[in-house]
Structure formats: structure tokens, C-alpha cells
Structure 1
């Protein structure tokens, strides 16, 4: 029997994840056989689940999703620079002495996808809706491109905490709901989980126009528009995309960390859509 190197995804929930399909595609592309699955991780069980997984010889790496991207840091031995900056981790790699290296590929993943879509212009005004773990991963990268980034969150103090964490990196501001309508945004990013519940963020429709580029980190498996993107289209946006490209891009950077080979993102997106769209 051939032992394959194993990788997994820790989170709750994980049954909806497309990561096993993505990494199966990657495995064929880079010609390295490896197995990837998901591990439903109950609350308060993250530490023991990690320990049990990585004590096995062929378990070499993992991804982390909600709600553990920030919580997992306390169990990691070494952090990459971008993981330290974001204060969250979505990729793990077993290194020397069975230590765990923690990285965050969310930020570079969204940058790659926004560039691929030509959604990111010079000196953008960017509105990010939501101040959860996903936003912590992407904010530093978006600020670094000389953009002005505005954070809106239903609970203002969470937006303020995020803003204060990264305010030394560049132009970052947090807004209250009644202030949003006073600004013009080139790019609007929904980083909330509203789509999971078939809802849209509570933002004024007046900020949407024909020139608005709208991006949703969430996506529908059937290929249909998310509730947020349907809403953006209804109120005038003609540029709107979901986050399936970011999902593939951040996974590609995880794959590179593990295997030192970078898969073809564009081809993977095309193949993935064929597999999941009905």
C-alpha cells in the first residue's frame, strides 16, 4: 500500500467546502499525489484535533476556516510575516521537529483574484463590509496598494478594533452606517457571511452605481449570483463577481507552501465550475 501525504481542512462547518475538489485538481496539475479531506472540528476541540492529526507521519499540512482562523494562533510554533500582520492563519505546514508553521494566504489570494478580474485600479476607495476573520486576512494587502480602505460592520466597535490594528499600514478608516452614503467607492467587498443565510448586508443602495465594482467573498455552488451580487445588480452595478476565484487563489498559495509548485489558477477555476455548476 502506498502512503500518500495527507492534508485537511479544520473548521465548523466544513461539509460545504470545495477545498477537497480544488486540491484534487491541483494534485493532477502539479503531478504530486496527495490526499485532502475535511475535519469537522467541534467547539473547544481544536487543540486536541490538531494534535491528533499532526502526530501522524504522513499528515503534513492543513487549512483552517471559520471560526478558527484567529483562535488557532495559540497552538502554532512559527508564524509567517503575513500571518503575524493579519493576526489570523488559514494554512498550516509541519516543519522541522514537528513544529507547525502558520501562514495566511487570504490576502494574497484576493489580490490575485481582483487583478485577474481587473477589479483593482490605482488608488481605489474600497469599502469592506464586515470585520471578522476574513477581513483581517485581506485588509493589509488592500492597504498596501495605496488604496483608501473603509470598514463598515454592523457592530461598530468591531470595525474600530480592526481599524486600530492596521491604521499604521496606510489609509484605513471605519464608518458608521449613516456615514457610508457620504462616500463614493470604486470597489465594494462583502466579507460577511450574509449570503449563507440568504441575506444582504445592511448598507444604503445609494452607494451602488454603474461604476461600482462589487465583489462577494461568498459564492453559490450552483453558479448563481449571491444575494449580495443580485442586490448590487438590481441597483445599477454592471461589474460584479463572487469569491470562487479567491478561494482557488488562496488554495494555490497553500499548495505552493506545501509542495513548492504553483498550480494553474485560471484552469482550475474553469474545471471547478464545470464540476459544481448544475
Structure 2
């Protein structure tokens, strides 16, 4: 009995906040990381009321043993407001997906989505250095990946969105003047090597816009941030239009979690086995 009490006292506590939250894979992912790294953790899903994230997060983080938490929809902007933020990706996105309690009691905020995307691309052998990238969509998902993409050494980053004005706002607020906006109708002129879909269009079996083979003429990799058990609609279409390789966002999910885990514990967990487990769970459903 005493042993378990000692273990509980030394256990690091984590959580993920969202609404809804039942679907979150974060506890599974982080428990696998902890096992790899010999860390004892508890990791729970917390359903916060839509207008009650801040008190819920403060209550969790004020517990003894609480180290940090992940934040998913719709609370990433609330987490940004709650935290002290130096992380460029989080400043660009005006959204935070990782909170950590500092020793002085203040709360630091990070956005690890873009690092997750870049690491997943690199894991798949995608060459980023000197490449032309087209990023589709101008929501929070796009904002969060801009700084890490630029830092990876790409040649150019073009942003396109159905509402061009929204893309122009994002370009003016992120990337230090390095993000160029291109109209939907002119995307093929970019001749992108890498095309990243940050919209959720695939979830409704649609495309972010009407794509053609010219757009994919030089496309080495087409990446969809959403994931399914089978290739997404965007991936299927990109492949048929000439993309050499297509990837979904499951690896990004695991890699952004790994970046959070590193922030909290200092350990860099291996991700490939975790991705394999999740992929097989998805297919078994």
C-alpha cells in the first residue's frame, strides 16, 4: 500500500482539455511515450464547459504533481489568452495547444502543431530545404504551421484560401513578410513541390477547391492534415492528378504530441511504433 502511495506522489499529472473530448487519442499516445521513457504519468481527458476552460485549466494545473496539459478545440485561443507565450508558432496562430506550469507558478504556452507537421514530413523522407510550398486554408491550423515551415528552410511559402482577404490577413500577421498570397485560380503558377491541405474538406469528402493536374505537375508530396482509416479524399485526388507521394495527418498528431512530451519531460520519444499502433486501431474500427 505504501509503495503505491509513494508512486502516486511522484506521478506527473497531465490532461487534455476539449469539448467534445471523448474522441481524443492523446491519453493513449502519451502513455505509450511515458512507457518508452520510464516515466510514471497519469493523463486524463477533461471535458470543459464551452465558457469554462480557464477556471478548469487553472484548477487542474494548481494540483500537486500537475506538470502540463494539451488543449484541443474549441479552447486553443482561450489557452493562448491564459498563458505567457514566447513561442513563435503560438504567437502566429494566436492559439496554444500545450500548457506547462513553470516553477514560479506562471503558465507557459506553446503551439506544437507546426513542429509536428515538419517532423512528420521529415520522417517520410520529404526534402523541405529549397522547396516551394503551397498551403491551402487560412484558419488556425494554417497559422500554426507557418513559422516552423519557414524555419525548415523552404524556398517559398504561398498561402491560398477561398476567401482571399482572409489569406491576406494571415500573411500580414505571420511569417515576417515571407508568406505570399496566391488566388485559387493562380495556384498552378506556383508550381509547388509540396502541397499542404490545412482545411477539413476531406471530412466531408470534398476538396478545398477545384484542383487540376497542372497544379500537381511538380508536386513531390501532397499532405492532408486530417486523417482517416483509408486515404482521405484529398489524398486520392492528389494521387490521381500526379502527386508522387500522399500523406495524412496521423503522423502530425503523434509528432505534435511528442513535441509536447519533450517540453514537459525533456525526453524525446520515438514516434514510429506509436503511429503504427494508432494506424492499426483506426483500421480495426
TM-score, normalised by the number of residues in structure 2: 0.88
- Report if aligned partners of 1:93, 1:258 keep a CA contact under 8 Å in 2: yes
1:142 and 2:149 are equivalent in the alignment = yes
**Cα separation, partners in 2 of 1:169 and 1:30, compared to 1, 3 Å:** farther
Structure 1 residue 229, shift from structure 2 partner: 0.7
Alignment gaps of 5+ in structure 2: none
Give the structure with the larger helix fraction: 2
Give the alignment's Cα RMSD to 1 decimal: 2.0
Partner in structure 2 of residue 270 of structure 1: 276
Superposed CA deviations along residues 18-45 of structure 1, whole A, max 9, x for unmatched, are 2111112111101111122222333222
TM-score, normalised by the number of residues in structure 1: 0.90
Alignment gaps of 5+ in structure 1: none
- Mapped partners of 2:155, 2:255: distance in 1: 21
- Mapped partners of 1:59, 1:31: distance in 2: 18
Question: Aligned to 1:66, which of 70, 73, 76?
Answer: 73
1:95 and 2:102 are equivalent in the alignment = yes
- Mapped partners of 2:154, 2:23: distance in 1: 35
Superposed CA deviations along residues 132-156 of structure 1, whole A, max 9, x for unmatched, are 1111111112122142111112222
- Report if aligned partners of 2:195, 2:219 keep a CA contact under 8 Å in 1: no
- Mapped partners of 2:117, 2:249: distance in 1: 8
**Cα separation, partners in 2 of 1:198 and 1:146, compared to 1, 3 Å:** closer
Partner in structure 1 of residue 204 of structure 2: 197
Partner in structure 1 of residue 131 of structure 2: 124
**Cα separation, partners in 2 of 1:169 and 1:28, compared to 1, 3 Å:** farther
1:230 and 2:201 are equivalent in the alignment = no
- Mapped partners of 1:210, 1:16: distance in 2: 37
- Mapped partners of 1:248, 1:210: distance in 2: 28
- Report if aligned partners of 2:128, 2:154 keep a CA contact under 8 Å in 1: no
Structure 1 residue 91, shift from structure 2 partner: 0.7
Q: What is the number of equivalent residue pairs in this alignment?
A: 275
Structure 1 residue 167, shift from structure 2 partner: 4.7
